[in-house]
Amino acid sequence: MLKIGVITASHSIKMIQQVESYLPNDCELTFIPYRQIKEIVELYEQHHLYYDGILFSGRLAYKILLQHREDLPTPTFYLEITEGDFYKHLFVIRNQYKELQFSRVFIDFLDDNENAFGLYEVLAEDERPYAMQPEYSEEIYEKTLQKHLTLWHEGKIDYAITRLSNIVHRLNEAGIPNTFIFPSTKSIWEQLQQIIHELQISHLQENQWAIGIITLKNETDSELDFTQVLLHKALLEFNQQTKAFSIIQKKREGFEVVTSQSELKKLTNDFTNCSAIHYLTNALPFQVNIGWSVGTTLYQTKKDAYIANTEAAAHHFSCAFAMIDQEEVVGPLGMDTCIEYSIAVDPEIERLSERLEISSLHIQKILAVLSNNQSNELTSEDLAHHLGHTVRQANRILNKLEEKGVAETIYRKQEKLRGRPKKVYRIDFRKTSQRKE
């Protein structure tokens, strides 16, 4: 049973309760109400160890908690106001008060949003509502209320929009027309689904989990929904055969799958192949790319999986890459062009990058190709083949190396007597230090 403790202002409980009927049978919410700001930290301390996760009804309580403790041993979340929620409320208000000017409205949480919900982009400066940067303290209710009352008594506003349910009755007593904004039932459920997803991941038996980011290549918006349906179907069929994935989660650009480290090693035969990409390539008529990663923290594992996916997506065919120990990338898994290279910051590689005016990642990949070929010679076709680049892009890289003196060209006769001889580059990165001396 997944248990989530909901620390919330008393007035907000009913709104969150509306999603309880949507919850899976193995998940339950327990409401822990507070009436005063000073109760928040104490309630967290008393209850967090008894729950798999703690959910705050808004940013206020979460920010107050962070002021008193930096570490949150229990996964902790809060409900956000989405742009969709925000503009729905604005539409209702405008429909009810058709003569209302936004410049005569006070929104007490607007400046707490990173980009003010995009409102400043569509309103001229003299059309913008009054706003304030909330000060997260025990006096936030009183200070925010006083700001509302001051603007009202000075005749500067005709309407108030608040995120603080505890001051609504005071606004009503003062006769200020107002709206309390809270996430819609749909928005609460969508956010709660993501929270449940995060908590399910944390419950995996293995100390380390594995995440796969699966994306579609160059799909237009009109094609995306259809191709995602096909991809989802193929993933479910693959999982029915292998039972490898604990979670299959839809994302904007594709899917995120969660498994364990031991399962991923089986799927990739210890990172030498990838049965998942093999299955999807045969099952689907479009390009799919997978990035795998293993880690001990959700954030880092996801981040690394996206990096691996980016490497896979750089190729013009379906393939899988994996981020393994110590920032090592390997891929395309199961192909003769598979190489292993590091994305870790290497001071020597960074110095080479500056001197050669080539990215450190390209240098790492070239070194990996040379090591894989057991030779310091390669053609632009070889490099393009291994890196998933066009021959023109590979030529540009090799020409830059030649210009900087670390590559020299050798002309070899082709097997057939027609055409120009193939251009082969011999590369020696040590020449940069010799040249500098």
Q: What is the spatial distance between Cα 134 and Cα 248, in angstroms, rounded to a whole number?
A: 38
- Residue 176, classed as helix, strand or coil, is coil
Residue ranges of the chain with per-residue pLDDT less than 70: 114, 203-207, 218-222, 326, 412-421, 431-437
Q: For residues 117 and 86, is the Cβ–Cβ distance under 8 A?
A: yes
Whether 2-78 shares its CATH topology with 349-436 is answered no
Is the CATH number 1.10.3720.10 carried by domain 349-436? no
**CATH fold for the domain made of 204-342:** Alpha-Beta Plaits (3.30.70)
pLDDT at 44: 96
Alpha-carbon torsion (48, 53, 59, 63), positive or negative: positive
Task: Scan for tokens 């991941």, then name that residue.
Answer: 201
Q: What is the spatial distance between Cα 334 and Cα 75, in angstroms, rounded to a whole number?
A: 37
φ/ψ of 340, rounded to 5, equals -120, 130
Is this structure's pTM higher than 0.75? Answer: no
Q: Which CATH architecture has domain 2-78?
A: 3-Layer(aba) Sandwich (3.40)
- Which residue type is seen at 254? G
- Residue 434, classed as helix, strand or coil, is helix
- CA distance to 155, 177, 410, per residue, from 124 (Å): 21, 24, 64
Peptide bond into 332 cis (omega under 30): yes
Residues 6 or more apart in contact with residue 195 via CB below 8 angstroms: 4, 53, 55, 77
Distance of CA 166 to the CA centre of its chain: 33
φ/ψ of 102, rounded to 5, equals -60, -25
Q: What is the spatial distance between Cα 359 and Cα 435, in angstroms, rounded to a whole number?
A: 20
Q: What is the spatial distance between Cα 382 and Cα 368, in angstroms, rounded to a whole number?
A: 12
Q: What is the spatial distance between Cα 58 and Cα 36, in angstroms, rounded to a whole number?
A: 14
- Residue 431, classed as helix, strand or coil, is helix
Apex 434 CA angle, 432 and 437, nearest 5: 110
Alpha-carbon torsion (90, 96, 102, 107), positive or negative: negative
Q: What is the spatial distance between Cα 34 and Cα 58, in angstroms, rounded to a whole number?
A: 13
pLDDT at 419: 56
pLDDT at 192: 94
pLDDT at 401: 86
Q: What is the spatial distance between Cα 272 and Cα 294, in angstroms, rounded to a whole number?
A: 15
**CATH fold for the domain made of 83-180:** Rossmann fold (3.40.50)
φ/ψ of 30, rounded to 5, equals -120, 125
Q: How many CB atoms lie within 10 A of CB 348?
A: 11
Q: What is the spatial distance between Cα 59 and Cα 187, in angstroms, rounded to a whole number?
A: 15
- At 384, list the tokens: 């393009």
Q: For residues 307 and 328, is the Cβ–Cβ distance under 8 A?
A: no
SS (H, E, C) 236-255: HHHHHHHCCCCEEEEECCEE
Apex 436 CA angle, 434 and 437, nearest 5: 65
- The DSSP code sequence of 271-331 is TT--HHHHHHHHH-SS-EEEEEEEESSHHHHHHHHHHHHHHHHTSSS-EEEEEEGGGEEEE
Q: What is the spatial distance between Cα 183 and Cα 171, in angstroms, rounded to a whole number?
A: 20
pLDDT at 145: 95
pLDDT at 206: 46
pLDDT at 224: 72
pLDDT at 436: 47
Distance of CA 150 to the CA centre of its chain: 41
**What is the H or E stretch that residue 83 is in?**
helix 83-96
* Residue from 337, 331, 294 nearest 311 by CA: 331
- CA distance to 257, 411, 428, per residue, from 370 (Å): 33, 19, 10
Residues 6 or more apart in contact with residue 177 via CB below 8 angstroms: 97, 158, 159, 160
Alpha-carbon torsion (152, 157, 159, 165), positive or negative: negative
**Pairing status of strand 328-331 against strand 319-324:** antiparallel
Q: What does the domain layout of the chain look like in residue ranges?
A: 2-78, 83-180, 204-342, 349-436
Residues 119-145: tens digit of each pLDDT: 888 888 889 999 888 888 888 999 999
φ/ψ of 380, rounded to 5, equals -65, -30
pLDDT at 20: 93
